[in-house]
Amino acid sequence: MLPAQFRMTRSAEFGATVSRGVRAAQPDLVLYTLRSDDTGVPGPRIGLIVSKAVGNAVQRHHVSRRLRHAARAILDDLDPAERVVIRALPRSRDAISPRLEQELRTALQRIRARAGASA
């Protein structure tokens, strides 16, 4: 489970991360990252978007639990000022947890590679 201190809860935070963040798509999810100027909040913040396109409420909840578990595994790879939003795609309902974790890591590596190339 993802500890509460690392969860993104404010709509404005979600909106800023999705609209201004760097995006990397994978078959089962899309990852958005944004460095935050807000130093008052300790640690990275992670938010999930699991729409009705993923499935019914039970399926969405199941996908959310698996994504939170996968997100916890990548916490150590994130910078404390980083904000991350994970958007589940409809295919994520059939994906197993290790696959979701691997896709998160791959998307994060792609974003870091892009950031390194542009810097």
pLDDT in tens, 30-85: 999 998 776 566 789 999 999 999 999 999 999 999 999 999 999 988 988 899 99
Confidence of residue 118 (pLDDT cuts 50, 70, 90): low
Predicted pLDDT of residue 40: 65
According to DSSP, residue 52 is labeled G
pLDDT exceeds cutoff 60 at 17? yes
Which own/partner contact pairs does 17-23 have at CB distance under 8 Å and 24+ positions apart? 17/47, 17/83, 17/84, 17/85, 18/49, 18/85, 18/87, 21/83, 21/85, 22/111, 22/114, 22/115, 23/111
The predicted pLDDT at position 49 comes to: 96
**3-state SS class at 37:** coil
Statement: residue 119 has pLDDT above 60:
no
Q: Are 69 and 1 in contact (CB under 8 A)?
A: yes
- For the ranges 20-24, 37-41, 62-66, 96-100, the lowest mean pLDDT is seen at 37-41
